Structure 1
Amino acid sequence: MTTPQDTPATLGRELRRITAPRTLALLVGVLVLQLGFILSYVGAFHAPRPQHIPISIAAGAQSAHLVEQINGIDGTPLRAHAAADETSARESVTSGDRSAALVMNPHSTTDTLYVASGGGAAVVTAVEQVVGQVESSQHRSATTVDLVPLQAHDARGLTGFYLVIGWIVGGYLVAAAIGVMSGGRVRNLAEAGGRILLVVPYSIVSGLAGALIVDQWLSALTGHFAALWGVGTLLVLSSAVITLFMDALVGTVGIGVTILIFVVLGNPSAGGPYQYDLLPAFWRTIGPFIPNGAGTTAVRDIVYFGGRGIGGPMLCLVAYILIGIIGTLAASAQIGDPRRDEPAAQ
């Protein structure tokens, strides 16, 4: 007697197998994810334009007029705020509250533009271009002074962005690998708890290794080893537990959802190559609420601004971790609930 396993394979039979509705649905999902990747990256980066970049103006009696002039530029590339004097203008830059500060010299036609390249080289370039046009219209010029320069080996300030991406990739890959090694989708609450406990030490080691690479090994971001280790641990854990949650919730499709969150949406909106003030509205809005953006901002704040302003990014990472852990446990408890398989009472 011939069994299905003994039936010789034929091209027609194989085509019928791979064109089954479930397989076709998977292929459509992959195509949508691929096109989403292209749309998201090109949409975010194809035409960067400064929008409402915050700067301080210290021009004495002329401050109000200059603020009004700058804020009236078509497209509002800058958002100017009057500063009491040069000292407060400089402080607004070194604290990270403003991206730049223009201080007018009443005794010369050469003014000073204070910037912080540590907050983003692309933003500095954009501010210099706009301020240069404003100064030129008044037959003046501005000399740029970088108050928060990039570290020597942090080319264009992108080290933190790539570090964050590496940590996040490690988080969702380890969660996916655990799922594969454990036989696929989580089956019960105990198994979910075991997977969560497994990614915690991985996150700690991964955060440590990333900090060692950029600090001790490459000297790209130095002087903040412990803080970077902590941020890295939270980033890896956040992406790992969200991946576990998606897997427990919808199975293999959850990997695609994770890629959508962290790769398709998270990377281009993170403020890496182009900071938030240069991104289109959609990406600028979602960036701070995804670990990629929160992590990139946190690393910049720690390395270049003394850790000021990291409360928001840290809250974002902790929220993702809590959502991932609670969601994973809740979804797995539902999966493992024997009552789900019981026939309805007659």
Structure 2
Amino acid sequence: MATTTDDGSRTTFLREVRSAVTPHASLLVLGVLGLMIAFITSYTGAFHHPRPTDVPLGVVAPPPAARKVVTQLDRLPGSPLAPRALRSERVARQQLADRAIDGALLVDPRGTTDRLLVASGGGASLSQAVELVVRAAEKAQGRTVRTVDVSPAAAGDSRSLSSFYLVVGWCVGGYLCAAILAISAGARPSNGHRAVIRLAALALYAIAAGLAGAIVVGPVLDALPGTFAGLWGLGALVVFAVGATTLACQALLGIIGIGLAILLIVILGNPSAGGAYPYPLLPPFWRAIGPALPPGAGTWAARSLAYFDGAALTGPLLVLAAWAVGGTLLTLLLSVFLKKDRPADRPPEDERPPA
């Protein structure tokens, strides 16, 4: 009858543990833990205390009164507003339409009731924050204010969040598609030809994904107004930009590149995108990085297409194009470099015969 010593049992158990959880897997699990902590920190840090800071506000009033009102609003505690005097209501409405300002106070020199122009299509939470600040400031001066929404969100987009969720969906589709392409036959592109094929497949997917998203928020749900073709093109660009960036991360770091893509797009990009809380309501760090990341650029562009006739699109489109072109070039260059750097007698991982 065979017996097993306690020492032998412990040795067998430790061997099983090492077999079940390899050092490589342990490192990946620690990486996942780090991403989880970063996720909690980023979202909580961005959203736990939203408050307006330096919100661009136009002031229309006779010259002496305009200077006085601008000075009063500029000196409010916490600097919630960045007021500027404007010549006329027409100029104020034009700057709202151009997304140069987020509100305009029209002072009535003959009465005590002023008008506040806002554009909730650019973010309902921001319009409400501006209204609260201006109402409190006006009340302190013995005046009242009547709010006029010159670019309201659509009936199916009451909080102006549809554009944000649309872009988030496009971003998720972009990095998941790229991750599947990159790991389906080896963690790293093994040659330039394979990288080109994957980028071409990603481009076709991006066109289909952009079309699908535009159909869902347009004809199907009637959630966003604006040009269908414009949203389709924007979606294709967002998906390809995120996907190409993910492929570049994969080419650089292998499977760990997926974590880097998640860090850039999900953990840093989504809370700083200006979706639930537009940029002037976010803390400084998230307000600074948001416009430079694909979710933020995409959300701004989607709202511009839906509610502002495509105003202020150049900057966000250049940001998305930079991510798309940069990701494409890095993917190709790293694929060629890694092929040359690999020993001649060592075939790519996915081309090795099974053991």
Superposition TM-score, scaled by structure 1 size = 0.93
Q: What is the rounded CA distance, in whole Å, between the counterparts of 1:18 and 1:25 in structure 2?
A: 14
Q: What is the rounded CA distance, in whole Å, between the counterparts of 1:38 and 1:338 in structure 2?
A: 38
How far did residue 195 of structure 1 move? 0.6
Verify the 8 A CA contact 1:115 1:144 in the aligned structure 2: yes
What is the correspondence of 1:216-295 to structure 2 with a 5 Å cutoff? 216-295=219-298
Unpaired segments of 5 or more residues in structure 1? Answer: 1-8
Question: Is 1:53 paired with 2:55?
Answer: yes
**Which of 21, 28, 42 lines up with 1:26 in the alignment?**
28
How far did residue 137 of structure 1 move? 0.8
**Which of 183, 189, 193 lines up with 1:190 in the alignment?**
193
Amino acid at match of 2:111: S
Deviation per CA, 1:263-307: give whole Å up to 9, x if none. 000000000000000000000000000000000000111111111
2:348 maps to: none
Q: Secondary structure at the match of 1:157?
A: coil
Q: What is the rounded CA distance, in whole Å, between the counterparts of 2:246 and 2:118 in structure 1?
A: 39
Unpaired segments of 5 or more residues in structure 2? Answer: 1-10, 346-355
1:166 maps to: 169
1:98 maps to: 101
1:6 maps to: none
**Which of 211, 215, 230 lines up with 2:214 in the alignment?**
211
Q: What is the rounded CA distance, in whole Å, between the counterparts of 2:298 and 2:326 in structure 1?
A: 17
Verify the 8 A CA contact 2:97 2:311 in the aligned structure 1: no
Q: What is the rounded CA distance, in whole Å, between the counterparts of 2:309 and 2:65 in structure 1?
A: 32
2:3 maps to: none
What is the correspondence of 1:36-75 to structure 2 with a 5 Å cutoff? 36-60=38-62, 61-75=64-78
**Which of 329, 334, 337 lines up with 1:331 in the alignment?**
334
**Alpha-carbon RMSD:** 1.6
Q: What is the rounded CA distance, in whole Å, between the counterparts of 1:40 and 1:79 in structure 2?
A: 27
Q: What is the rounded CA distance, in whole Å, between the counterparts of 1:244 and 1:212 in structure 2?
A: 27
Q: What is the rounded CA distance, in whole Å, between the counterparts of 2:66 and 2:114 in structure 1?
A: 13
Q: What is the rounded CA distance, in whole Å, between the counterparts of 1:322 and 1:336 in structure 2?
A: 21
Verify the 8 A CA contact 2:161 2:275 in the aligned structure 1: yes
Q: What is the rounded CA distance, in whole Å, between the counterparts of 2:303 and 2:342 in structure 1?
A: 50
Q: Secondary structure at the match of 1:112?
A: strand
* Identity across matched positions, percent: 45
Q: Secondary structure at the match of 2:159?
A: helix
Q: Secondary structure at the match of 1:270?
A: coil
Q: What is the rounded CA distance, in whole Å, between the counterparts of 1:339 and 1:115 in structure 2?
A: 59
Q: What is the rounded CA distance, in whole Å, between the counterparts of 2:138 and 2:145 in structure 1?
A: 7
Q: What is the rounded CA distance, in whole Å, between the counterparts of 2:176 and 2:28 in structure 1?
A: 20
Question: Is 1:109 paired with 2:112?
Answer: yes
Superposition TM-score, scaled by structure 2 size = 0.91
Out of 9-18 and 308-317, give the one that drifted further: 9-18
Out of 13-22 and 238-247, give the one that drifted further: 13-22
1:318 maps to: 321
Q: Secondary structure at the match of 1:317?
A: helix
Q: What is the rounded CA distance, in whole Å, between the counterparts of 1:28 and 1:274 in structure 2?
A: 31
Deviation per CA, 1:119-142: give whole Å up to 9, x if none. 111111111111011101111100
